[in-house]
Amino acid sequence: MGKSTSDADFVAQLRSKGTRVDPGMVLHTPPTRPNRSLDDLLAADENESQATVSDVRPPLREDSGGQTDELGRIVSIDLLDTHPWNARVHRSAERIREIASQIAAIRQLHPITVTRNPDQPGRYFVVDGETRMRGLKLLNRKSAWILEVDVDPTNALDFYGASVKQTDATEAISAIDKGIKWAMLIEEGHATAAAIAEKLELAPSTVSRMLAYKKFSPTVLDFMHSHADRFPYSVAAVLAQLVDEKLSEEQILAKCQEVVDSQQGRRAVEALVKSVKTADGERKPRKSALVAIPIKAGTAQVGSFRTYESGALEFKLTTTASLSQENHRALSDVLETVSELISTGHSDLLAELESRLSKLRSDG
């Protein structure tokens, strides 16, 4: 849609697109008059054919009995609040200035999508468009173009899912930001890795590896974010072993710089991590397992179960070729159920596991 210099032009261009506009549509001509609903603007164009649109001044429709304006409205920017489960973590000052410059040169090209704050009537949580909001504030603008969406702000996973979907469509969210938020959702008891994978339609293994980003310090994460193309989650998951080895932040940053300078891929990074030694020049000794039970397929060992003095448990299966398809599915279901129960912190793990397994069997 082209630029417009008047409300009449704006309405004419909207009419050419049809009165119902997809929320994801880019409207290059948002309303310029404060406190005017876009739906009211369109209604004025239809109902008052003898008057120009610029002469019509309908009231705000904030108290419209739950009715939403399909094209959004203008509100005071002071009514917009950030939400802890907004999908984006890193917002560079350069990006905020870039958006502010675009708004100053043209106008706000995309509405900020919001949902109502149930605890503070008249206020809104930003679902997508926090960078735009910050750009507007940088310009000392007093109002913003918003579009309401149906999102429950009290449900952390639902809000995050809506935010990541809309924000990703505007400007892709980095794997780093996603991994950090997923780990926070799990740590604070709002979701499990399996629930996140289902919500975002991802493989559970992808979610598991991306959680590795949360292990790094803010300084290391800032470095990774500035070289995001060099630190996909596959590389970050390998480098996270350096954190487990208790290397200092300076040492980890040095290894990250080496990854950037040498353009190393995942396999090279794996070799780099394996070669890391402690300060005294000796490789850290491998902790001996208290219990080590081999898993065999015939005479060949295909995995193991180990327990360690630290309390760690390790189940490893290198192949499932010896399992039938039915048993492979059953084992996967059992391990996924156990993982979820541990994440949700059930006090009687065995009783809950028996209940879940019974349900799995009855469900077929």
Domain layout of the chain by residue ranges:
7-170, 175-274, 289-340
What integer pLDDT is reported at residue 178 of this predicted model? Answer: 92
CATH architecture, domain 175-274: Orthogonal Bundle (1.10)
CB half-sphere exposure, 255, CA atoms < 13 A: 26
The two three-digit tokens of residue 234, written as one number: 């596959």
What integer pLDDT is reported at residue 225 of this predicted model? Answer: 86
d(Cα 180, Cα 89) in Å, to the nearest integer? 8
* Spans of the chain below 50 pLDDT: 1-5, 17-29, 31-42, 44-68, 277-281, 283
Q: What secondary structure, in 3-state letters, does 223-238 show?
A: HHHHCHHHCCHHHHHH
The two three-digit tokens of residue 89, written as one number: 């973590």
> Per residue in 183-220, pLDDT tens?
999 999 998 988 999 999 988 888 888 899 999 999 99
Alpha-carbon distance values, 99 to 107, 111, 129, 171, 174 (Å) = 10, 13, 11, 12, 18
298: left (phi over 0), alpha (psi -120 to 50) or beta: left
Strand, coil or helix: 245: coil
Alpha-carbon distance values, 147 to 89, 128, 334 (Å) = 22, 10, 44
d(Cα 62, Cα 69) in Å, to the nearest integer? 10
Strand order in the sheet with 73-76: 73-76, 143-148, 112-116, 124-128, 80-81
Q: Is 82:118 a contact under the CB 8 Å cutoff?
A: no
Strand, coil or helix: 174: coil
Please count the other Cβ atoms lying within 10 Å of the Cβ belonging to residue 262: 12
Instruction: Please list, in sequence order, all residues whose beta carbon lies within 8 angstroms of the beta carbon of residue 187, skipping any fewer than 6 positions away.
Output: 214
What integer pLDDT is reported at residue 41 of this predicted model? Answer: 43
d(Cα 109, Cα 106) in Å, to the nearest integer? 8
β-partners of residue 74 are 145
DSSP state of 354: H
β-partners of residue 33 are none
Please tell me the chain's helix, strand, coil percentages from 3-state DSSP, rounded to the nearest 5.
50, 15, 40
DSSP state of 74: E
| 7-170 placed in CATH 3.90.1530.10 | yes
Strands (E), 79-194: 80-81, 112-116, 124-128, 143-148
The two three-digit tokens of residue 109, written as one number: 């090209």
The two three-digit tokens of residue 360, written as one number: 């799995």
d(Cα 296, Cα 312) in Å, to the nearest integer? 22
d(Cα 86, Cα 163) in Å, to the nearest integer? 6
Phi and psi at residue 74, in whole multiples of 5°?
Answer: -100, 130
d(Cα 14, Cα 168) in Å, to the nearest integer? 26
The two three-digit tokens of residue 20, written as one number: 């119902």
Q: Is 334:320 a contact under the CB 8 Å cutoff?
A: no
What integer pLDDT is reported at residue 42 of this predicted model? Answer: 44
